[in-house]
Structure 1
Amino acid sequence: MKKLLAVAVLAAFSTMSYAADKVLNADIVVVGQGAAGTAAAFAAAEKGAKVIGLEKKAIAGGTGNFSEGIFAVGSKMQRDYYIPLTKDEAFKKIMAYGHWRSNARLVRAFVDKSADTVDWMQKHGVKFEKLTTNYPGGLYTWHIYEGRGAGWIKLFQEKGQKEYGMEVLFNTPAEKLLMKDGKVAGVIAKDKDGNTVTVNAKAVIIATGGFADNPEMMKKYTRFPDTDGLAQSGKNGVGIQMAWSAGGGKEGLEVQQSYRPGPRAVGTTNHVSATAKQPHLWLTPQGERFTDETIMGDWPAAGNALERIGGQMWVVYDNKN
């Protein structure tokens, strides 16, 4: 009797464990629901695809919630403002800014689609506060959202789920790609309770960001592993590694926008560190001026000048500044 009871309990436990795992089907699964992932999922759902988004955090948006605006050249807003910048000019400026180390085909596609992206966002109810530049003498290509990034991300998440059937699983980080016959066939993830979630899909979009929050990858692939990467929080490179597992390329790993060489900062930028991002007097630890401080508007130039002297400097200013 005891043996039969034990078998019955084991069978019930096995059934419960199996039932807790999920198997879902979709046309497209989007890994990550930040700015890029939200836009990708929304666009696919708008076209009629059955979309499932996976997000490791409890809310959508990630660091995209704090973004102020989006680049575009040739948008309706620019035409209304009579901004004469052409796509060819923008492409050449971007390539020159990165010393032609960027993938020219990708940059060209990015530039060519930028205006359509802004117009598409406006069509779906995103409002833009103004068109401006982010540094003195800069080009007017920065389209500032009303409500900043959090506003349009919330709008697209709600509209995508209510009107287009987009489904998003929060607290569900992707762990690996599902492969069948040598091709990507979906994603395997874990929910907050530790249960396996398998999403079978015809295509997978990985939109998980970079790897600035992964010290090992920073050390292996970048020149300045101890710097703070742009919007680094949570960007651990897992999505990139997933893509590599399916044969994805490794181009451009050494190119990253970073701040503050030296020990990785804890927390967010404060008022003191913000002074280093102004054209005040910059001195080496030995008290010598080492650059023309007006290059602060050109971040790569400022970073290179600082790196040349060892990554540490003093910023001198007074009450008048």
Structure 2
Amino acid sequence: MKTNEQYDVVIVGGGAAGFTAAYQASHRGLSTLVVEKGRNTGGSGEYIEGAFAVDSYLQKEHNVALTKEDVLNEELEYSHYRADTQVWKEYIDASADIIKWLKDLGVEYLDVAPLGSGYRTWHLFKGLGKSVIHDVLEPKAKEQGTDVIISTTVTKVNLDNNGNVSGVELEDLSNHEKKTVATKAVVLATGGYLNNEDMIKNDTHYDAEQIIPVNSEKNTGDGLKLAWDAGAQKYAMGTAMLFGGYLKDHTKPGYVYRYSELNGAADQQSLLWVNENGDRFVNEEVVDNFALAGNALCTQGKVFTIVDQSTIDHLTDDQLYKQMGTWDYHDTKLPHLKEEMQKAFDEKAPYLTKADSIHELAEKVGLEDLEKTIEHYNELAHSGKDTDFGKKADFLIPVENGPFYAIELGVGAFCTMGGLKTNTEHEVLDKAGKPINGLYTAGNDAAGMLIGDTYGPNMPGTEAGFVFYSGKHVANIIYDQLKG
């Protein structure tokens, strides 16, 4: 734990928001320390695919017609006006400059794209967030003098007698050595609390058993707890970035299935979904908006995708029923689907069940209404009209040629948002709504100001874009307050 005794700013969390803040702070001449609890930096920011912006140079190249006013109004309506208007306005105004700023630093983009039925706001990174962090922000921050320590946790943010930040308490996780570092500014950038089951159970409406985290597995609410212990108010808890179904396998980390073709087939092809009783419960085209799909799945105790061998053959040998956005799948079909399924059977994967008849499948999985549901669903498929939920005929795929498969889905989630109330300068507010002087936050820890009860994938990349915007902005605010 080699550090100086004092820094201008200490950043808790070595992910995308943390290293954005570290780069900008050290670029402005502030002495900077990044404290990362993991053995490696990067965190869940490594999985970021792209960042939101309005009126960027890439959008102008593609003649994207989208105004800042349109975006602001839609995001406020999407959040039912639970989002902070001023935070959104300032973020939108700065978003195009952030994309250009990252490009000038060396970040490469693949394109600007929509997601599903959303708008073309997703500026896709070459090499994902992993490249942005490790090839650009982190090395440049270190070149400018930023100190980085790993396997170390911040156990407390110290306040002086006037309630101002005066330092942090550190603990080396390898040998439990403890140390105090003085500072007047602390930035909490720990990525939220998706991997804290107690917080999910106690502070959200989600069933922790259903949620499948697809992240670095290090986001356990550390920054939120540090802030609450320092007197911050708990605010806007209860929202995760859900993205529809995800193979329910609690024996493995969620990220191993991120680009699984079986996962894509079960979640993104609008095939038949049934609940724990074997009943259909939604128009499966909801997958076109992944956050709404996640909400729909959360209304059920369990969810299964039911398919027959003809569907598996079609997806493997012929073509997809629908394209799957910018995910890293084959363009037209799923050529490895059958081998993935065989591997799952060989490993006795808990989410995959096979039977020679629907009756046998229903008994194996415990779905008492499945036979009745399949009989009715096949009638709808052959008629070409979904009189139950209105799904388009193109996706009414009959389930009639065995063997038959049940694929159990949990609800995939990338991150949580919120927990702290902030102002537009990313200062953490206390229970009276006043800033805790010297305590700031960025990224997911600060994103409760952006949302209502559901993440808005209609404007893809908003959370990732906010990570970079808030990291840069908070560093500039700290410089102004310390040196200005």
Give the TM-score of the pair, scaled to structure 2.
0.58
SS state of the match for residue 256, structure 1?
A: strand
CA distance in 2, matches of 1:308, 1:194: 43
CA distance in 2, matches of 1:189, 1:79: 46
Task: Rate the CA distance shift 1:53–1:118 in 2: closer, same or farther, 3 A.
Answer: same
Shift of 1:253: 0.5
- Show the counterpart of 2:202: 220
Task: Rate the CA distance shift 1:161–1:262 in 2: closer, same or farther, 3 A.
Answer: closer
Contact residue 282 and residue 315 of structure 1 kept, 8 A: yes
- Show the counterpart of 1:320: 314
> 2:95 corresponds to which letter in structure 1?
S
CA distance in 2, matches of 1:32, 1:218: 21
SS state of the match for residue 198, structure 1?
A: strand
- Show the counterpart of 1:274: 264
Percent sequence identity over aligned pairs = 30
CA distance in 1, matches of 2:97, 2:181: 31
Farther-moved stretch of structure 1 (73-82 vs 38-47) = 73-82
Shift of 1:33: 0.8
**Residue of 111, 116, 133 corresponding to 2:114:** 133
RMSD between superposed Cα atoms in Å = 2.4
CA distance in 1, matches of 2:294, 2:106: 38
Farther-moved stretch of structure 1 (175-184 vs 303-312) = 303-312
Task: Rate the CA distance shift 1:315–1:176 in 2: closer, same or farther, 3 A.
Answer: farther
Contact residue 245 and residue 267 of structure 2 kept, 8 A: no
> 2:227 corresponds to which letter in structure 1?
A
Contact residue 275 and residue 315 of structure 1 kept, 8 A: no
CA offset digits 1:127-150 (Å, max 9, x no partner): 212111222x42111111122211
The residue correspondences of 1:227-306 to structure 2 (distance < 5 A) are 227-229=211-213, 231=215, 233-258=217-242, 265=250, 266-268=252-254, 269=257, 270-278=260-268, 279-306=270-297
**Residue of 121, 145, 152 corresponding to 1:172:** 152
**Residue of 22, 46, 53 corresponding to 1:72:** 53
Shift of 1:188: 1.2
> 2:253 corresponds to which letter in structure 1?
G
CA distance in 2, matches of 1:222, 1:153: 30
Farther-moved stretch of structure 1 (79-88 vs 191-200) = 191-200
SS state of the match for residue 235, structure 1?
A: coil
CA distance in 1, matches of 2:275, 2:158: 52
**Residue of 200, 210, 216 corresponding to 2:182:** 200
- Show the counterpart of 2:91: 110
SS state of the match for residue 213, structure 1?
A: coil
Task: Rate the CA distance shift 1:185–1:230 in 2: closer, same or farther, 3 A.
Answer: farther
> 1:302 corresponds to which letter in structure 2?
A
Give the TM-score of the pair, scaled to structure 1.
0.85
- Show the counterpart of 2:192: 210
Shift of 1:31: 0.5
> 1:46 corresponds to which letter in structure 2?
H
Task: Rate the CA distance shift 1:197–1:118 in 2: closer, same or farther, 3 A.
Answer: farther
Contact residue 14 and residue 35 of structure 2 kept, 8 A: yes
Contact residue 2 and residue 149 of structure 2 kept, 8 A: no
Shift of 1:219: 1.0
- Show the counterpart of 1:149: 129
Farther-moved stretch of structure 1 (206-215 vs 166-175) = 166-175
Contact residue 214 and residue 253 of structure 2 kept, 8 A: no
Contact residue 213 and residue 234 of structure 1 kept, 8 A: yes
Task: Rate the CA distance shift 1:35–1:98 in 2: closer, same or farther, 3 A.
Answer: same
Contact residue 171 and residue 179 of structure 2 kept, 8 A: yes
> 1:44 corresponds to which letter in structure 2?
A
Shift of 1:93: 2.5
CA distance in 2, matches of 1:36, 1:149: 11
Shift of 1:222: 0.5
Contact residue 21 and residue 195 of structure 1 kept, 8 A: no
Shift of 1:262: 11
Contact residue 46 and residue 129 of structure 2 kept, 8 A: yes
Task: Rate the CA distance shift 1:172–1:308 in 2: closer, same or farther, 3 A.
Answer: closer
Shift of 1:98: 3.3
SS state of the match for residue 81, structure 2?
A: coil
Contact residue 41 and residue 53 of structure 1 kept, 8 A: yes
Shift of 1:124: 1.3
Contact residue 55 and residue 172 of structure 1 kept, 8 A: yes
CA distance in 1, matches of 2:115, 2:148: 34
Task: Rate the CA distance shift 1:104–1:315 in 2: closer, same or farther, 3 A.
Answer: farther
Unaligned runs of 5+ residues in structure 2 are 316-484
Task: Rate the CA distance shift 1:311–1:102 in 2: closer, same or farther, 3 A.
Answer: farther
Contact residue 284 and residue 290 of structure 1 kept, 8 A: yes
Task: Rate the CA distance shift 1:311–1:277 in 2: closer, same or farther, 3 A.
Answer: same
CA offset digits 1:103-127 (Å, max 9, x no partner): 3333333322221211111121212
Higher relative contact order (CA 8 A, sep 6+): 2
CA offset digits 1:271-321 (Å, max 9, x no partner): 444333211122234443322111112123223322333342333351223
Farther-moved stretch of structure 1 (262-271 vs 86-95) = 262-271
CA distance in 2, matches of 1:94, 1:292: 24
SS state of the match for residue 176, structure 2?
A: coil
